[in-house]
Amino acid sequence: LKRSVGPRIPHLAPGRFRFIEGPLPFTMASLSQVVALFFVAFAAATAYAEDVSDLSLSQTSSVADRPRHRLRRMVPSARRSMLRQRSMRNDMKVVDRATGKVKNVFEGKFYMYPLPNFERRFHGELAQCERKGADYMFISSLLEHPMRTTEPDEADLMVMPCLFESYRRCTTTNHAERPPTSLLEANPHPEDFEEIPWVKAFDTETQECLEKIQRSPQYRKNWGVDHFWLVADWSINFGRTVESEMIKNITLGKIEAVDAKEGLVQNREAAVDSSRCSVIVPYASDVAYVQDFSRQTTFDEWLQRPSLVSFRFDPRKYVLYCKSQVCEGAVDATPLRRQSLVLADKLSEETQTSIFMDRAPLAEYTREVEESRFCLIIRGDTPSSHSFYDAVAANCIPILISDRWSAVASPLSHGLHGNMVGGLPVDGFALTFPEEAWMNDLEKVIARIKEVDQDPEKAVKLYQHMQDNRPYLLWSMPGVTAASNVLESARKCVHEDQD
Per-residue confidence band for 192, with pLDDT thresholds at 50, 70 and 90: low
The one-letter amino acid at 197: P
Please check the confidence at residue 176 and state whether its pLDDT lies above 50. Answer: no
Integer Cα distance of 420 and 384 in angstroms: 14
The stretch 186-207 carries a mean pLDDT of 74
Confidence grade of residue 107 (pLDDT, cut at 50, 70, 90): confident
Given a cut of 60, is residue 24 above it in pLDDT?
no
Residue 234 confidence (pLDDT) above 60: yes
> How much is the average pLDDT of 441-463?
97
Q: How confident is residue 36, by pLDDT bands cut at 50, 70 and 90?
A: low
Residue % of the chain over a pLDDT of 90: 66
Average pLDDT of the residues in 310-314: 97
In the chain the first and final C-alpha atoms are separated, in Å, by: 32
pLDDT at 188: 53
Between the alpha carbon of residue 266 and those of residues 136, 171, 327, the distances in Å are 32, 29, 5
Adjacent-strand bridge partners of 420: 415
Burial classification of residue 57, based on how many CB atoms lie within 10 Å of its CB (0-12 exposed, 13-18 middle, 19 or more buried): middle
Q: Which residue has the higher pLDDT, 201 or 496?
A: 201
- For residue 189, which phi and psi values (nearest 5 degrees)? -130, 70
Strands 325-326, 321-322: pairing is antiparallel
Q: Give yes or no for a contact between 383 and 402, defined as CB atoms under 8 angstroms apart.
A: yes
- Answer yes or no: is pLDDT of 448 > 90: yes
Tell me the residue type at 425: P
Higher pLDDT, 428 or 75: 428
Q: Left (φ > 0), alpha (ψ -120 to 50) or beta: where does 6 sit?
A: left
Q: How many CB atoms lie within 10 A of CB 97?
A: 12
Which pLDDT band holds residue 186 (cuts at 50, 70, 90)?
low
Using only the alpha carbons of the chain, give its radius of gyration.
Answer: 25
Kindly tell me if the per-residue pLDDT of 80 is higher than 70: no
Please tell me the predicted confidence (pLDDT) of residue 324: 84
Q: What number is the average pLDDT over the span 198-219?
A: 94
Residue 454 burial (C-beta neighbours within 10 Å; 0-12, 13-18, 19+): exposed
For position 479, what pLDDT does the model report?
Answer: 81
For residue 66, name the pLDDT band (cuts at 50, 70, 90): very low
Most confident of 33-37, 46-50, 318-322: 318-322
3-state SS record for the chain? CEECCEECEEEEECCEEEEECCCCCCCHHHHHHHHHHHHHHHHHHHHHHHHHHCEEECCECCHHHCCCHHHHHHCCHHHHHHHHHHHHHHCCCEEECCCCCECCCCCCCEEECCHHHHCHHHCCHHHHCCCCCHHHHHHHHHCCCCCECCCHHHCCEEEECCCHHHHHHCCCCECCECCCHHHHHHCCCCCHHHHCCCCCCCCHHHHHHHHHHHHCHHHHHHCCCCEEEECCCHHHHCHHHHHCHHHCCCEEEECCCCCCCHHHCCCCHHHHHCCCEEEECCCCCHHHHCCCCCCCCCHHHHHCCCEEEEEEECCCCCCCEECCEECCCCCCCHHHHHHHHHHHHHHCCCCEEEEEECCCCHHHHHHHHHCEEEEEEECCCCCCCCHHHHHHHCCCEEEEECCCHHHHCCCCEEEECCEEEECCCHHHCCEECCHHHHHHCHHHHHHHHHHHHCCHHHHHHHHHHHHHHHHHHCCCCCCCHHHHHHHHHHHHHHHHHHC
CA distances, 124 to each of 140, 141, 167, 443 (Å): 14, 17, 12, 53
- Give the count of beta carbons closer than 10 Å to the beta carbon of residue 439: 15
Tell me the CA distances in angstroms from 56 to 65, 123, 134, 266, 471, one per residue in order: 9, 42, 29, 39, 20
Q: Tell me, what's the pLDDT at 30?
A: 47
**123-139 mean pLDDT:** 94
pLDDT score, position 196? 84
Q: Does 112 have pLDDT greater than 50?
A: yes
State yes or no: cis peptide before 23, omega within 30 of 0. no
**Tens-place pLDDT, residues 362-405:** 999 999 999 999 999 999 999 999 999 999 999 999 999 999 99
pLDDT in the model for residue 135: 97
Cα–Cα distance, 95 to 472 (Å, whole number): 12
Q: pLDDT tier at 6 (50, 70, 90 boundaries)?
A: very low
- CA–CA separation, 492 vs 499, rounded Å? 11
Of 188-202, 237-251, 286-300, 438-452, highest mean pLDDT: 438-452
Q: Give the confidence band of 83 by pLDDT, cuts at 50, 70, 90.
A: very low
pLDDT of residue 1: 31
User: Which pTM does this prediction carry?
Assistant: 0.77
CB distance 213 to 113 below 8 Å: yes
Model pLDDT, residue 87: 36
